[in-house]
Structure 1
């Protein structure tokens, strides 16, 4: 297979890695991880057991993706952002080994900025954008822009990453000409780039 694994990286036996994926310095991929094609795992990334990455996922340096996290196609994770997988961890009172970790889903095309924190059990909608340093504690809708600590919605964003300005429930991206409809706090795409 056409997969690049840097000599300092560790890929445990049993891990599934798709065509064209690159795994860089000091990264560790656990045995039951599933990684799609054309992914890029930066320096010092950890992929836990039972983690699934779709195709085209890009994970920058110093990110750990723990059990319970699913990253769909074309997700971007900025440097040193954090996923959690337990709501009440205690060193003195460890949980039973059979604990089921909270499921966190990052849908297709979403971006999570550097140093952001994603509290477990949430869904980040497709093509959403989480600003650097934001703390996400609840589900966020597709095409939304969230920033702050705790994060709150700052607007809407196009698939291509440009802010959208809605007028009477309609918006057109100034860069790519995609068109969107906003109805009851839900954005849908009505015209794709041709």
Structure 2
């Protein structure tokens, strides 16, 4: 179904009050829940799920079968790989301690926030509440349980930083004790303190 806002495939399930902005596309069998916003030129792949009120910035890609549970927030240019899960329950249970079934009133959703340009590799799980920093890269199959710094390359379960990446997504090369360079763009970065990298202005 084409609309002035964006394109929704006929098999997709998009709530009437969800916002599919200009140039955005929601593909086969995806579900976009109430009050969610899919930013301009973003893509929601086949079978993906975007929860109630989730905010997706412009130029994002949510690949096939990813699960983005509320109240996640994705800044512009975020990449969510196939089958990624962004959780929202820090203490998950189907029932309360007294054996009664949990209802919406019995727990408070917590979200994953992903900042500009960051990428989450296929089959990774991000355990809320956490923040994934700008231009960070989470390797495929990782389990992220704590905040990820800007430009960090993290892998494993639990995910740990093994290096730095630049805005092009390639691992940076150390040029001295505190400076790093991108092999693709030749942009330079400086480690200003442990676990904190900043881009050096040209």
* Short-chain TM bin: over 0.9
Structure 2 counterpart of 1:127: 135
Q: CA deviation at 1:152?
A: 0.8
Q: Helix, strand or coil for the counterpart of 1:191?
A: coil
Are 2:41 and 1:38 equivalent residues in the alignment? yes
Q: 2:181 aligns with which of 164, 172, 177?
A: 172
Q: CA deviation at 1:100?
A: 2.7
Q: Helix, strand or coil for the counterpart of 2:17?
A: coil
Q: Distance in 2 between matches of 1:14 and 1:38?
A: 19
Instruction: Give structure 1 regions of 4+ aligned residues with deviation exceeding 6 angstroms.
Output: none
Q: Helix, strand or coil for the counterpart of 2:198?
A: strand
Are 2:191 and 1:182 equivalent residues in the alignment? yes
Count of aligned pairs: 192
Q: CA deviation at 1:158?
A: 0.7
Are 2:37 and 1:26 equivalent residues in the alignment? no
Q: CA deviation at 1:18?
A: 1.0
Q: Distance in 2 between matches of 1:134 and 1:124?
A: 13
Q: CA deviation at 1:35?
A: 1.3
Contact 2:173-2:183 at 8 Å conserved across structures: no
Query: Runs of 5+ in structure 1 lacking a partner?
Result: none
Q: 1:4 aligns with which of 1, 4, 7?
A: 7
Structure 2 counterpart of 1:104: 112
Deviations 1:34-63 (A, max 9, x none): 111000100001111111000011011001
Q: Helix, strand or coil for the counterpart of 1:163?
A: coil
Aligned residue runs from structure 1 range 53-68, under 5 A: 53-68=56-71
Deviates more, 1:9-18 or 1:137-146: 9-18
Q: Distance in 2 between matches of 1:61 and 1:10?
A: 15
Contact 2:75-2:116 at 8 Å conserved across structures: yes
